[in-house]
Structure 1
C-alpha cells in the first residue's frame, strides 16, 4: 500500500487548514490552534476516495474563538485501486465541478446550486463544507426515500437541470465553456476493463435472482411477462457496457449537466422537527453532459421506496417537470417550453439505463453492511479488481436483493419499458 507523502498528515496541518479557512471565511488573519480528525465513513462505504472529518478550532481577526468542521476527500492510498477506478480523472471532474461549473451556474441563476461549499480542490484532495453541523444527514439506503423526501429531491434536481437549459439558451458560449470541463468517467473506453466487468456481473446477478424466482414458482408475475423480460435481458449479455455508452450520449434538446451518480448515498437532508426542509447533493466525480432523463432514471431506480416507485413515478416526474419549467421560465423566458410528454418520451427511450443502474447498485443498497471497498484495499494487481468484484456480487445475492430486483423489473414491465 502506497501513500503520497505530500498529502499524509494534512488533517493536522494547522497552517494548511488556516489557509483553507482564511479564504472560506474571508479572514486573512484567522489562525488555527487545534484540529481533530476522525473517519467520516464506515469501512467499505467508498472505494474511489477516502473521507475524513476534521474539527478545527482557532481565533479570527477580532480575536474571537471559532470552531469549524470540514470534510477532507482524498484519493485512495492503494495505487492499483486509483488506476483501476480512474481516480485521477474522477478527481479532476470533481475539482472542475466545484471550482468552476457550480459557481458559474450559481452566479447565472442568482441562487446556490444544491451542493456543499468547496473550500479547496485539487487533483488529489478536496476540502468541503461539513453539512452535519448544519443538521444534514443521510437517509436509510436500505429503506429508500418516502414521497416527501423524493419530492424535495426532484425539485432540487429540476432547478439544477433547469439552470443548465436556461444557460444553454441565454449564453451558449459560457455554457459550452463549462460543459467542456466535464469528462465521461464511467463509460469512457478506459473504464471498460473494470466497470464493464462490473456491469456485466450486475446483469448476471440480476438474471440469477429473476431465474430463481421463476423456477420457484412465485406468482409475482405472469409467465409471459417474466419470460419476455428475461429474454430481453439475456440478449444484453456481453454488450452491457456498450449499451450504456450509447444511452448516456447527449440527446438534444433535453441534455443538461447531470449529476451522474444521483442515488440516496449522495444526498443529505436537513430537517425541522420531523419535516424535511432541504436537500444537498454530494460527490460530483461522475458529472456529465447527458439527457436529463439519465439522472431521473438513476434516482428512481435506486433511491425511492419500492411503493413510491410503483405508485408515484408519474407524480414525481410531474413535480420535476413543474419545477423545471418554472426555473427555465424565470432564467430564460424566451426559451422553448419543455413539455412533460418530452420528458416521459425520453424516460421511456432511455429506461434501460435506469434498470441497469438499479442492477448495479442494488447489491450495495440491500446489503446490511458494505464490504466491497474493504476487500479492495488488498488489491495488488489489476487482475485482482475483477475477481474481487465478482466475489462481491456473489456475496450479496440475498433475499432482500432478490425482492428488490423482482420489484424493479416488474415495474419496468408494467410501465412498458421492457
Structure 2
C-alpha cells in the first residue's frame, strides 16, 4: 500500500476518501502528490465534528528545466463515528446546516455583492473560508475546506481575553453579514425566502437536552450567591420563574419574533469559531468558521452570543456602547453600498430594542460556553463517555462534566448576569 493510501485510510468511509481525491485533483495541477494528515483541532475546540488537517505536497513545472515545490492545505471535517455522540450532539443536522451555508448561502452573498460592483475580497464581506465540497449522505457527511493557517490565520488562545480591537473586527464582520441579509430581503426576497424557513438546530424534542438547559440555572444561582448580589439573584430567580431557560432559548431564536429585523446569523460566533490574522501583534483580519448552527433570527442573537461569553466585564463596562456603535455603523454603511436604506430597514433605535428583547439569548449561551472557555485542556470531558451517559439519561453526570466549577467560571457568569440585568436584557 502506498503512503498516500495509508493516509487516506485514516479517514472514515470510502465516500469521504473518494470525494477527497476529487477535490485534490480540482485544486492542484498534477496527480503526483504526497499527503500528510494530522489532527486539525485540540481537545475542547470542536464538539460536533472531527477535524483533520491535510497537507498536499507537489511539484509544479515553471519552465522546461525548473520545477518548484508547492504545498496546499485543507481541512476535512467529518462527524463523529461514535453513534451515541452523533445523536447527542446532533451531528447530522449540524453538518446539513453547514453544507447549506457553504453550498448555497455564502455563494449567494458573493453573487449579490458582485452584482453591486463589490469585490468581496476588497471591500465586501469575505470573512469566511472557501469550501471546496460537501457531502450530505447520512453517516458519510463531510466538509472539505481551505486551511486558513496557510494564509496566516489562527485561533486565539481562549484563556487570553480579547482586546477592544479584536472585538471591533468581529462586530464589523457581523455588521456586513447582517447587512447582506437585510439587502437580500429588501431586493431579492424570492432568493432569500428559503433561508427564512430553516429549522432551529437547538430546538430538540429531547427530554435530556431540555432538562440540561433548564438545569443551567443552578450555575447562575450559585454565581450570584455572594454577599452584595442579593438583588441580582432575586431578579434572576424571577426571570426563570416566568419561563424555563429552554423555552426562552428556543423562543429567542425564532425569526418571526424578530421581524422585520430578523437576519441570517452565523449562529455560533464565539472564540473557538473565529480565526485571526495578525500583522506583528495587531489583528488585521478574521474568518468565521463552523456555520453549523446558523439560524434566521434577531441580529441580537449573534451579538450577545459573542459579547457575553467571550468578553470581560471591564471591557464591557468601558466600551459596550462603543462596540454596538461600531457594529451598527458598519452595517449601515455596507447596507447603503448594497443599495438599501438602513433608516428604513434597520434604524439605530431598532438595534437597541432588539438587544433588550433578544439579548438574553447570549446570557443563556454563556451558561453553556463559559465553562468550556475556562476549562483547561486536561479537564475537557471525554465526549464519547458523555454521549453514552447522555443517552442513558444521566443528567447529573453531564452537568458535572460540563460544569467546570472553578472560581473563574463563576466569576465570569456572575459578571455576565450583572451586566445583562443592568442593561435590562433579562425581561
Confirm or deny a common fold (TM above 0.5).
yes
Q: 1:322 to 1:378 in 2, by over 3 A?
A: closer
Matching residue within 87, 90, 100 for 2:91: 87
**Structure 1 residue 351 corresponds to structure 2 residue 359:** yes
Matching residue within 110, 121, 125 for 2:134: 121
Q: Deviations over 1:9-33 (max 9, x none)?
A: 77996x754420333x3x6x43242
Structure 1 counterpart SS, 2:41: coil
Structure 2 counterpart SS, 1:186: coil
Q: CA RMSD in A?
A: 2.5
Distance in 2, matches of 1:166 and 1:274, equals 35
Distance in 1, matches of 2:252 and 2:212, equals 17
Q: Which moved more, 1:39-48 or 1:100-109?
A: 39-48
Q: 1:236 to 1:369 in 2, by over 3 A?
A: farther
Q: In the alignment, is the contact (CA less than 8 A) between 1:55 and 1:69 conserved in 2?
A: yes
Q: Which moved more, 1:369-378 or 1:40-49?
A: 369-378
Q: In the alignment, is the contact (CA less than 8 A) between 1:45 and 1:373 conserved in 2?
A: no
Matching residue within 274, 298, 307 for 2:305: 298
Q: Deviations over 1:93-150 (max 9, x none)?
A: 1111111110111110231531111112112111111111211111222333110000
- How far is the alpha carbon of 1:201 from its aligned partner? 2.9
**Structure 1 residue 280 corresponds to structure 2 residue 287:** yes
Q: Deviations over 1:151-173 (max 9, x none)?
A: 01000110011011001101100
**Structure 1 residue 138 corresponds to structure 2 residue 163:** no
Distance in 1, matches of 2:232 and 2:298, equals 29
- How far is the alpha carbon of 1:287 from its aligned partner? 0.6
**Aligned residue in 2 for 1:100:** 104
**Aligned residue in 2 for 1:376:** 384
Q: In the alignment, is the contact (CA less than 8 A) between 2:43 and 2:380 conserved in 1?
A: no
Distance in 1, matches of 2:132 and 2:253, equals 31
* TM, length-normalised to structure 2: 0.86
Q: In the alignment, is the contact (CA less than 8 A) between 2:60 and 2:70 conserved in 1?
A: yes
Alignment of 1:228-307 (within 5 A): 228-235=234-241, 239-250=244-255, 251-307=258-314
**Structure 1 residue 151 corresponds to structure 2 residue 151:** no
- How far is the alpha carbon of 1:285 from its aligned partner? 0.6
**Structure 1 residue 313 corresponds to structure 2 residue 317:** no
- How far is the alpha carbon of 1:321 from its aligned partner? 0.5
**Aligned residue in 2 for 1:33:** 33
- How far is the alpha carbon of 1:200 from its aligned partner? 2.1
**Aligned residue in 1 for 2:232:** 226
Structure 1 counterpart SS, 2:425: coil
Distance in 2, matches of 1:294 and 1:370, equals 31
Q: In the alignment, is the contact (CA less than 8 A) between 2:169 and 2:286 conserved in 1?
A: yes
* TM, length-normalised to structure 1: 0.87
How many residue pairs match? The answer is 397
Q: Deviations over 1:23-64 (max 9, x none)?
A: 3x3x6x432421111111223432211111111112458775
Distance in 2, matches of 1:61 and 1:97, equals 36
Distance in 1, matches of 2:382 and 2:193, equals 39
**Aligned residue in 1 for 2:73:** 69
Q: In the alignment, is the contact (CA less than 8 A) between 1:89 and 1:183 conserved in 2?
A: no
- How far is the alpha carbon of 1:408 from its aligned partner? 1.1
- How far is the alpha carbon of 1:377 from its aligned partner? 4.3
**Aligned residue in 1 for 2:5:** none
Distance in 1, matches of 2:43 and 2:345, equals 46
**Is there any run of 5+ residues in structure 1 with no aligned partner, and where?**
none
- How far is the alpha carbon of 1:80 from its aligned partner? 1.0
Alignment of 1:127-206 (within 5 A): 127-180=144-197, 182-187=198-203, 189-190=204-205, 192-206=206-220
Q: In the alignment, is the contact (CA less than 8 A) between 2:41 and 2:51 conserved in 1?
A: yes
Q: In the alignment, is the contact (CA less than 8 A) between 1:54 and 1:72 conserved in 2?
A: yes
- How far is the alpha carbon of 1:7 from its aligned partner? 5.0
Q: 1:384 to 1:38 in 2, by over 3 A?
A: farther
Q: In the alignment, is the contact (CA less than 8 A) between 1:55 and 1:68 conserved in 2?
A: yes
- How far is the alpha carbon of 1:92 from its aligned partner? 0.5
